[in-house]
A and B are shown apart, each in its own frame.
Chain A
Amino acid sequence: MLTLDINGKKFETDAEPDTPLLWVLRDHLGMTGSKYGCGKALCGACTVHVDGAATRSCVLPVSAAATMKITTIEAVGNSVVGRAVQDAWIAENVPQCGYCQSGQVMSATALLTTNKKPTDADIDAAMSGNICRCATYVRIRSAIKRAASALA
């Protein structure tokens, strides 16, 4: 039995230790906001925060996450930065199919938490690990800048 610290609450899981955190969140704990897209940390749809850092939960064994503070899309809106990012996402009408957007919001929130005024190059560097097949990238860029202004 592993104990996890997710969104400020303690959860126990009997998942096998090698189970990626993503599948513990989705199938064991019923938090389906984080998505499966590739299983190899190639697309970023599964991005969560582990001790504040954007992390691909599809390749993180749950056993390795047990001692860390995990934040998921379900609770990222409780932080000032996360809320600003979500508000900017809505204002810019970013999501199309929406499947990748939990991961995009998590990566953008991690970026703005450490970098209050990201340049285009900073945005490229922080966001290029998150694939969007609807190619909402133009609006993601605008939304990150909008959120940065709102937080300034």
Chain B
Amino acid sequence: MSRAEDQALNHASRRDVLKAAAALTVAFWLPRGAGATRPEAAGAAGSALEPNAFVRIGADDTVTVFAKHLEMGQGVYTGLATIVAEELDADWKNVRVEGAPADAKRYNNLAFGPMQGTGGSSSISNSYEQLRKAGATARALLVTAAAQRWNVPAADVTVTSGIVEHKSSGKRAHFGELVADAAKLPVPADIKLKDPATFKLIGKDAARVDSRDKSNGTAIFTQDIHLPGMLTAAVIHAPLYGAKVKGFDAAKAKAIKGVKSVVAFETPVRSGVAVLAADFWTAKKAAELVTVDWDDSAAFKRSSAELFAEYRELAKQPGASAKQVGDVTKAFGSAARTIEATYEFPFLAHASMEPLNCVVRVGAQDCEVWNGEQFQTVDQAAIAKLLGLQPASVKLNQLYAGGSFGRRANPQSDYLLEAAAIAKAAGVSEPVKMVWTREVDMRAGFYRPMYVHTLKAGLDQEGKLVAWQHRIVGQSILAGTAFGGSGIDNSSVEGASTLPYEIPNLSVELHTTKLAVPVQWWRSVGSTHTAFSTECFIDEIARATKQDPYAVRRALLSDKHRRHQAVLELVATKSGWTQPRAKDEVWGLALHESFNSVVGQVAQLRRTADGFKLERVICAVDCGLAVNPNIVAMQMESGIGYGLAAALSGAITLKDGAIEQSNFDDYSVLRMNQMPAIDVHILPSTNKPTGVGEPGTPVIAPALANALAAASGKSIRTLPLAGQGVTLV
């Protein structure tokens, strides 16, 4: 091959990439058929059946499901499509998924109210009935169209795997052959859903729709977007929260070939400088040559050690009441014995694999964004406000997200506003791709807050638990956001205020602190800390009273908590909790409910010459009906791995206001050699689906700590374990 041919190929491949990106855009711009303006019609005439906002069936038999939720790894594209395909009786091989556009009217999260967004492990649960109806409606239209064409009763027409059939006459048709006729029919108002006993896809392990593209490098993330004329922006953030750009010298940066401009930007969240260039490496290199003069007169300059000391003092005082049962003061007065413990938790970064980024094109009258969008309605409104546009003029193109764990659902739209502010400051009409380095991402804040908990238990003469006082000290995640109100932030106390154990006198109190460190929900939110303190404290009580951890929990669970009872019994049975164990085996147990799902885990450690090895985790879950049991298992595995990373080594620390961590060398995360084997057992259920993405996360840390404490007799009350003399091999 000649060099000229090589070059041509090279350019062709580049053009193909551009074309692919453009096609992606076009897909989001496609009108959703005439159905949007003529609600009585079943879809665009002729080429496709599109009876509602969630499904389109093409003449080529392709069933496209529009996912209103972000696919960030949790398998939601597959889960949502499974629900539609089930009621439609579609052939799974012909089902594809497309991210829905931003439109709170059609695509709001029913658990959030009039707002489109993904979070709170609510995607499947809020969509379940909605998507069953969407699929059943499309099926009914296809059946009616077939019945009319064949002149047979609709009741005699069956649908199996994408084939519509009238068995006695032998007539049959693929979906695609019927869509033109079906699209002309009125959409039925009432629709009968299947008897769940007849499900063929729900409850089975449909293959993930995104596996192939994510195994061969063709899946497109925000980071991969290339648009004609696009500039890449590298950013410099203030080294301290609250510091502002006073001035900057960009002479050296501007001398670098390929640098287009260097601008200061300011958003309601932060102040900084951005370098715009033709490509990322040029922008990053140039950014390193910019010197910024920061005004840090109002910046936050405190350190973690001093904050923990302050939190510990606060925990000695009564806080605002988050939950009260009986009379705790009186009960402690008459208790035969009390046990107390203080638990401490650091800030945690989400540290998704894809550092935050965003592509934005700011036009005179509109704005277009390419992003793994988790909070469409909030982001649209925030960008519109910044640019002086109507929210509807901000178009959001949905992409895969390289993880989020809560971070992309930012109540202040921090990184999206930053990209828009940079494009605005630079005054460019070309698209701008803002790319944060890992270091910028790690230090940008919006962490899981740091917390101090104190727990105090009162026991009577027989060792029975009669009083429980739980104080929590930490920042509010919701305060100051559109989601916050006055009083107790439930996300600070959830898991503690919802303790399932039957204790006659119980008090949960909260001290809400205010720091300039931005905080945010982090996979399982309040449960990240409340599960640890409550479940470790139960084991402390068990050790103090020489009881078995399983027996203590089982005795404290009344029939008001049958799901907890069942999950606890399942995890005990599957792990063989009550059976004799080898001498070198050390196990720990924890049980916790979050996002309406109950998870129990047994961490099985083996004592070796070099330290403890976490060999296996037995996990039981009640998540209602499991739409896709294999994906439920994946999410339990993922939650355990994510929670384990934080338990072992996760900590963001402040020194005089500066974040001490920067990358995966000083913010260690879980690696292959640290991952235990995991057995997941799903409690059979016919109840509505409940959360799956988060509930596996908070249970592993207490299960692990309880095992280690059982082995040594020494309680673990601070996370992470790193630096506490505990070695896991």
Given contacts A73-B216, A94-B215, A101-B215, contact A27 B207 (CB under 8 A): no
- In the complex, chain B residues whose CB is within 8 Å of the CB of A124: 672-673
Given contacts A86-B216, A90-B211, A137-B672, contact A45 B638 (CB under 8 A): no
Interfacial residues of chain A within 10-64, with CB under 8 A of chain B in the complex: 10-12, 15-16, 19-20, 23, 26-40, 42-43, 45
Decide if B437 touches A39 in the complex (CB within 8 Å).
Answer: yes
Interfacial residues of chain B within 492-536, with CB under 8 A of chain A in the complex: none
Interfacial residues of chain B within 129-179, with CB under 8 A of chain A in the complex: none
- In the complex, chain A residues whose CB is within 8 Å of the CB of B219: 98
Identify which of B216, B353, B631, B678 contacts A43 (C-beta below 8 A). Answer: B353
In the complex, A132 Cα to B674 Cα: how many Å? 12
- As a 0/1 sequence over residues 206 to 242 of chain B, the CB contacts with chain A under 8 angstroms (1 = contact) are 0110111111111111011010000010000000000
Decide if B211 touches A138 in the complex (CB within 8 Å).
Answer: no
- In the complex, chain B residues whose CB is within 8 Å of the CB of A26: 224, 280
Decide if B663 touches A99 in the complex (CB within 8 Å).
Answer: no
Decide if A96 touches B218 in the complex (CB within 8 Å).
Answer: no
At the interface, yes or no: A131 with Cβ under 8 Å from chain B?
Answer: yes
In the complex, A127 Cα to B672 Cα: how many Å? 6
At the interface, yes or no: A146 with Cβ under 8 Å from chain B?
Answer: no
Decide if B438 touches A99 in the complex (CB within 8 Å).
Answer: no
Segment with Cβ contacts to A, from B6-14, B598-606, B683-691: B6-14
Decide if B216 touches A77 in the complex (CB within 8 Å).
Answer: yes
Decide if B208 touches A102 in the complex (CB within 8 Å).
Answer: no
Identify which of B232, B278, B641, B664 contacts A134 (C-beta below 8 A). Answer: B641
Segment with Cβ contacts to A, from B244-252, B399-407, B480-488, B543-551: B399-407
Decide if B211 touches A128 in the complex (CB within 8 Å).
Answer: no
- In the complex, chain A residues whose CB is within 8 Å of the CB of B435: 36
At the interface, yes or no: B34 with Cβ under 8 Å from chain A?
Answer: no
Identify which of B17, B352, B640, B665 contacts A97 (C-beta below 8 A). Answer: B352
Decide if B215 touches A89 in the complex (CB within 8 Å).
Answer: yes
Q: Which residue of A lies closest to B666 (CB)?
A: A42
Decide if A135 touches B14 in the complex (CB within 8 Å).
Answer: no
Given contacts A127-B672, A131-B671, contact A97 B401 (CB under 8 A): yes
At the interface, yes or no: B637 with Cβ under 8 Å from chain A?
Answer: yes
A139 smallest CB distance to B (angstroms): 7
B123 smallest CB distance to A (angstroms): 14
In the complex, A133 Cα to B645 Cα: how many Å? 9
Decide if A11 touches B663 in the complex (CB within 8 Å).
Answer: no
- As a 0/1 sequence over residues 113 to 139 of chain A, the CB contacts with chain B under 8 angstroms (1 = contact) are 000000000011101111111111111
Decide if B215 touches A132 in the complex (CB within 8 Å).
Answer: no
- As a 0/1 sequence over residues 169 to 207 of chain B, the CB contacts with chain A under 8 angstroms (1 = contact) are 000000000000000000000000000000000000001
Decide if B638 touches A123 in the complex (CB within 8 Å).
Answer: no
- The interface of chain A, by Cβ under 8 A from chain B, is 9-12, 15-16, 19-20, 23, 26-40, 42-43, 45, 72-74, 77, 86, 89-90, 93-102, 105, 123-125, 127-141
A30 smallest CB distance to B (angstroms): 4
Decide if A35 touches B353 in the complex (CB within 8 Å).
Answer: yes
Decide if B279 touches A27 in the complex (CB within 8 Å).
Answer: yes
At the interface, yes or no: B72 with Cβ under 8 Å from chain A?
Answer: yes
In the complex, A28 Cα to B282 Cα: how many Å? 11
In the complex, A136 Cα to B210 Cα: how many Å? 15
Decide if B217 touches A34 in the complex (CB within 8 Å).
Answer: yes
Decide if A12 touches B7 in the complex (CB within 8 Å).
Answer: yes
Decide if B281 touches A97 in the complex (CB within 8 Å).
Answer: no
Decide if A30 touches B355 in the complex (CB within 8 Å).
Answer: no
In the complex, A37 Cα to B355 Cα: how many Å? 7
Decide if A99 touches B354 in the complex (CB within 8 Å).
Answer: yes
Given contacts A10-B6, A95-B210, A134-B403, 10 further A-B contacts (CB under 8 A): A26-B224, A35-B221, A37-B353, A77-B216, A97-B353, A98-B221, A105-B217, A131-B670, A133-B352, A137-B672
- In the complex, chain B residues whose CB is within 8 Å of the CB of A27: 232, 278-281
Decide if B354 touches A35 in the complex (CB within 8 Å).
Answer: yes
Identify which of B74, B224, B675 contacts A32 (C-beta below 8 A). Answer: B224
In the complex, A37 Cα to B667 Cα: how many Å? 13
Q: Which residue of A lies closest to B217 (CB)?
A: A33
At the interface, yes or no: B75 with Cβ under 8 Å from chain A?
Answer: yes
Decide if A133 touches B405 in the complex (CB within 8 Å).
Answer: yes
Q: Which residue of A lies closest to B438 (CB)?
A: A38
- In the complex, chain B residues whose CB is within 8 Å of the CB of A77: 216
Q: Which residue of A lies closest to B277 (CB)?
A: A27
Given contacts A73-B217, A124-B673, A134-B73, contact A95 B403 (CB under 8 A): no
B390 smallest CB distance to A (angstroms): 32
Of A43, A72, A130, A132, the most chain B CB neighbours within 10 A belong to A132
- In the complex, chain A residues whose CB is within 8 Å of the CB of B214: 95, 98, 101
Q: Which residue of B lies closest to A13 (CB)?
A: B10
Decide if B638 touches A96 in the complex (CB within 8 Å).
Answer: yes
Given contacts A12-B7, A34-B217, A73-B216, contact A96 B353 (CB under 8 A): no
A9 smallest CB distance to B (angstroms): 6
Given contacts A30-B17, A32-B223, A99-B353, contact A133 B403 (CB under 8 A): yes
Decide if A31 touches B73 in the complex (CB within 8 Å).
Answer: no
Decide if A135 touches B354 in the complex (CB within 8 Å).
Answer: no
In the complex, A94 Cα to B208 Cα: how many Å? 9
At the interface, yes or no: B582 with Cβ under 8 Å from chain A?
Answer: no
B523 smallest CB distance to A (angstroms): 10
- In the complex, chain B residues whose CB is within 8 Å of the CB of A89: 211, 215
Decide if A93 touches B630 in the complex (CB within 8 Å).
Answer: yes
Q: 16 A-B Cβ contacts within 8 A?
A: A12-B10, A30-B16, A32-B17, A35-B221, A40-B663, A73-B217, A74-B216, A93-B211, A95-B211, A97-B72, A99-B353, A130-B672, A133-B353, A136-B638, A137-B641, A137-B670
A145 smallest CB distance to B (angstroms): 13
Q: Which residue of A lies closest to B6 (CB)?
A: A10
- In the complex, chain A residues whose CB is within 8 Å of the CB of B73: 95-98, 134
Given contacts A20-B281, A77-B216, contact A11 B6 (CB under 8 A): yes
Q: Which residue of A lies closest to B257 (CB)?
A: A16
- In the complex, chain A residues whose CB is within 8 Å of the CB of B211: 89-90, 93-95
Decide if A98 touches B402 in the complex (CB within 8 Å).
Answer: yes
Identify which of A30, A35, A95, A133 contacts B669 (C-beta below 8 A). Answer: A133
Q: Which residue of A lies closest to B401 (CB)?
A: A97
B712 smallest CB distance to A (angstroms): 26
In the complex, A97 Cα to B73 Cα: how many Å? 3
B673 smallest CB distance to A (angstroms): 4
Decide if B637 touches A102 in the complex (CB within 8 Å).
Answer: no
In the complex, A134 Cα to B216 Cα: how many Å? 18
Identify which of B14, B278, B402 contacts A29 (C-beta below 8 A). Answer: B14
At the interface, yes or no: B677 with Cβ under 8 Å from chain A?
Answer: yes
Q: Which residue of B lies closest to A130 (CB)?
A: B672
Decide if B642 touches A135 in the complex (CB within 8 Å).
Answer: yes
- In the complex, chain B residues whose CB is within 8 Å of the CB of A133: 351-353, 403, 405, 642, 645, 669
Given contacts A32-B226, A72-B217, contact A134 B438 (CB under 8 A): no
Given contacts A28-B279, A77-B216, A93-B207, contact A131 B353 (CB under 8 A): yes
Decide if A39 touches B637 in the complex (CB within 8 Å).
Answer: no
- As a 0/1 sequence over residues 100 to 120 of chain B, the CB contacts with chain A under 8 angstroms (1 = contact) are 000000000000000000000
Decide if B217 touches A138 in the complex (CB within 8 Å).
Answer: no
At the interface, yes or no: B1 with Cβ under 8 Å from chain A?
Answer: yes
- In the complex, chain A residues whose CB is within 8 Å of the CB of B221: 35, 98-99
B440 smallest CB distance to A (angstroms): 11
Of B212, B232, B351, B403, the most chain A CB neighbours within 10 A belong to B403
Decide if A19 touches B281 in the complex (CB within 8 Å).
Answer: yes
Identify which of A9, A23, A100, A141 contacts B280 (C-beta below 8 A). Answer: A23
Identify which of A19, A29, A37 contacts B13 (C-beta below 8 A). Answer: A29
- In the complex, chain A residues whose CB is within 8 Å of the CB of B13: 29-31
B506 smallest CB distance to A (angstroms): 34
A134 smallest CB distance to B (angstroms): 5
B645 smallest CB distance to A (angstroms): 7
